[in-house]
Amino acid sequence: MPVAASAIYFLNLRGDVLINRLYRDDVGGNMVDAFRMHIMQTKELGTCPVRQIGGCSFFYMRISNVYLVIVVSSNANVACAFKFVVEAVALFKSYFGGQFDEDSIRNNFVLIYELLDEIMDFGYPQNLSPEILKLYITQEGVRSPFSSKPTDKPVPNATLQVTGAVGWRREGLVYKKNEVFLDIVESVNLLMSSKGSVLRCDVTGKILMKCFLSGMPDLKLGLNDKVGLEKESQLKSRPAKSGKTIELDDVTFHQCVNLTRFNSEKTVSFVPPDGEFELMKYRITEGVNLPFRVLPTIKELGRTRMEVNVKVKSVFGAKMFALGVVVKVPVPKQTAKTSFQVTSGRAKYNAALNCIVWKIRKFPGQTESTMSAEVELISTMAEKKSSTKPPIQMEFQVPMFTASGLRVRFLKVWEKSGYNTVEWVRYITKAGSYEIRC
């Protein structure tokens, strides 16, 4: 039994029910009280996302200032339930203009009821595809005034049938200008030891697409991944071109991708949904190019003084640059005073986070930047210095750079009417969890 949710609750941080939907009668109405009493009011909160209370199990997730709670009384499929919540939140966000919080829920009661009824019936997940839901949802989301105006709402028309074969795309779409946007977004995770050796490093990437194409187009995407290139050279019976090939550890695709063809020909071919979607996700552990090197030196000068030096080197191409670079250098709790010198950007001591936050708006490639800080500590009674040292954490975005080296070789669009399309390809690498121990 995949989910068979008995009820779904939206609670705010105080534990008040914002909105709820009871799908089945097999749990009492007081279940939410049990949740508040046994989880929200105790230290349990946040220690485990699945809890059993009485005969019921609770799955809960916090999204901004809202708790989403699913109650089940059977032996439910946990992965499915969480995936459902994640997808549902994404759906709500798309209706609320990217926001999902207490206010946007309070403003959209009717819409949420409508959505909850369509995406789940009697506890079984139904259809969460936004494209199909457009046919059934009558309410328009109330968006925050800052988000962009929604595009024209399609006229609800339930007679418009979506065929089983291409459930994610409607027939008869027409665009004046046929355009495809493709973004490769990679997040690079690093864990470096205090001695400077890489303990763990990998890249999780996703390919996001935005399609504004008429009719029922067939798309074919070629990447410089190893398996695909080898297969191609095999098919064309000529040796593979030299150059960097990327070995993907694992790939998952949007349901629109023809997986049979991927497995036989190793090409990604698909009929895309209209608008925005995530085409594929991949994971790479070998041959990752780290965009930044961080070299920290921390010296303790007596019991109340510390000297922190952090050097950051950018190791991507000189023509590129990183944006929004943030380096968080942890300092002890009993920090009293800090003074800095930076070669670029600005540094600040953030007492709430117990760290020095060093921000550099634009960081060109093949350069380095240093921050040296002097930290004065309050002398405390505790004889031992605290030995808990959180790692240095980094945030950044590097446009036109992929840490994995993945590149799009071609993106072909084929439609029976034979129109021309404009294709846009972008790359960006972000920091996932980029941690350097010190």
Partner 1 sequence: MAPPPQFQRSSSPSPSQPSGKSEISDLKLQLRQLAGSRAPGADDAKRELFKKVISHMTVGVDVSSLFSEMVMCSATSDIVLKKMCYLYVGNYAKGNPDLALLTINFLQRDCRDEDPMIRGLALRSLCSLRVTNLVEYLVGPLGSGLKDPNAYVRTVAAMGVLKLYHISASACVDADFPSMLKRLMLNDPDSQVVANCLSSLQEIWSAEANTSEEAAREREALLSKPLVYHLLNRIKEFNEWAQCLILDLISNYIPSDNDEIFDIMNLLEDRLQHANGAVVLGTIKVFLHLTLSMADVHQQVYERIKAPLLTLMSSGSPEQSYAVLSHLHLLVMRAPVLFSSDYKHFYCQYSEPSYVKKLKLEMLTAIANESNTFEIVTELCEYAANVDVSIAREAIRAVGKIALQQFDVNAIVDRLLQFLEMEKDYVTAETLVLVKDLLRKYPQWSHDCIAVVGNISSKNVQEPKAKSALIWMLGEYSQDMPEAPYILENLVDNWDDEHSSEVRLHLLTAVMKCFFKRPPETQNALGAALAAGLADFRQDVHDRALFYYRLLQYDESTAERVVNPPKQAVSVFADTQSSELKDRIFDEFNSLSVIYQKPSYMFTGKEHRGLTDISEELGNLSVEAHPAAEALPAQIYEANDVDLLLSTSEKEEVRGPVNNSSAYRAPDYDSTTAALVSSQVPLEADLSIPGLPAYNPQVSSAIDDLLGLGLSVAPTPAPPPLALNPKAALDPGSFQRKWSQLAISSSQEFCIEPRAVVALATPQTLLRHMQGHHIQCIASGGQPPSFKFFFYAQRAGQPPSFFLVECLVNSSSARAQVKIKADDGAAAGDFSALFQAALSKFGE
The window from 44-52, 225-233, 317-325, 334-342 that contacts partner 1 (CB under 8 A) reads 44-52
Look at strands 422-436 and 179-192 and give their pairing: parallel
Of 249-268, binders to partner 1 (CB under 8 A) are 249-255, 259-260, 262-263
The window from 233-241, 274-282, 368-376, 409-417 that contacts partner 1 (CB under 8 A) reads 274-282
Q: Does 79 sit near partner 1 (CB under 8 A)? A: yes
CB of 428 to partner 1, least distance (A): 17
- Residues 217 and 180: their CA atoms lie apart, in Å, by 11
Of 169-208, binders to partner 1 (CB under 8 A) are 189, 191, 199-200, 202, 204
- Nearest CA to 154 out of 170, 143, 165, 166 is that of 170
CB of 222 to partner 1, least distance (A): 17
Return the amino acid letter for 239: P
When the beta carbons of 52 and 237 are compared against partner 1, the nearer one is 52
CB of 114 to partner 1, least distance (A): 6
Of 92-151, binders to partner 1 (CB under 8 A) are 109-110, 113-114, 117, 121-122, 124-129, 136, 138-139
When the beta carbons of 33 and 307 are compared against partner 1, the nearer one is 33
CB of 127 to partner 1, least distance (A): 6
When the beta carbons of 78 and 295 are compared against partner 1, the nearer one is 78
The window from 275-283, 306-314, 334-342, 371-379 that contacts partner 1 (CB under 8 A) reads 275-283
Among 64, 144, 161, 366, binds partner 1 (CB under 8 A): 161
- Residues 268 and 258: their CA atoms lie apart, in Å, by 7
- Nearest CA to 363 out of 316, 300, 294, 304 is that of 316
Among 52, 148, 237, 417, binds partner 1 (CB under 8 A): 52
Of 382-421, binders to partner 1 (CB under 8 A) are 384, 387-391, 393
Query: Where does 166-254 have alpha helices with state H?
Result: 226-235
Among 103, 179, 232, 278, binds partner 1 (CB under 8 A): 278
Phi, psi of 363 (to 5 degrees): -125, 105
Among 59, 92, 321, 401, binds partner 1 (CB under 8 A): 59
- Residues 31 and 9: their CA atoms lie apart, in Å, by 10
Find the radius of gyration of the CA atoms of the chain.
26
Phi, psi of 249 (to 5 degrees): -70, -40
Look at strands 179-192 and 198-212 and give their pairing: antiparallel
- Burial class from Cβ neighbours inside 10 Å (0-12, 13-18, 19+) for residue 263 reads exposed
CA atoms within 13 A on the CB side of 249: 11
* Apex 371 CA angle, 370 and 377, nearest 5: 155
Q: How many residues bind partner 1 (CB under 8 A)?
A: 103
N-term to C-term CA, the chain: 48
When the beta carbons of 198 and 425 are compared against partner 1, the nearer one is 198
The window from 79-87, 144-152, 237-245, 308-316 that contacts partner 1 (CB under 8 A) reads 79-87
CB of 272 to partner 1, least distance (A): 14
* Apex 83 CA angle, 80 and 84, nearest 5: 85
Phi/psi region, residue 237 (left: phi>0; alpha: psi -120 to 50; beta: rest), is left
CB of 300 to partner 1, least distance (A): 16
CB of 398 to partner 1, least distance (A): 20
When the beta carbons of 280 and 329 are compared against partner 1, the nearer one is 280
- Residues 311 and 97: their CA atoms lie apart, in Å, by 40
Of 284-343, binders to partner 1 (CB under 8 A) are none
Do 244 and 405 form a contact (C-beta atoms < 8 A)? yes
When the beta carbons of 173 and 201 are compared against partner 1, the nearer one is 201
Among 6, 8, 57, 169, binds partner 1 (CB under 8 A): 57
Helix (H, G, I), strand (E, B) or coil at 80: helix
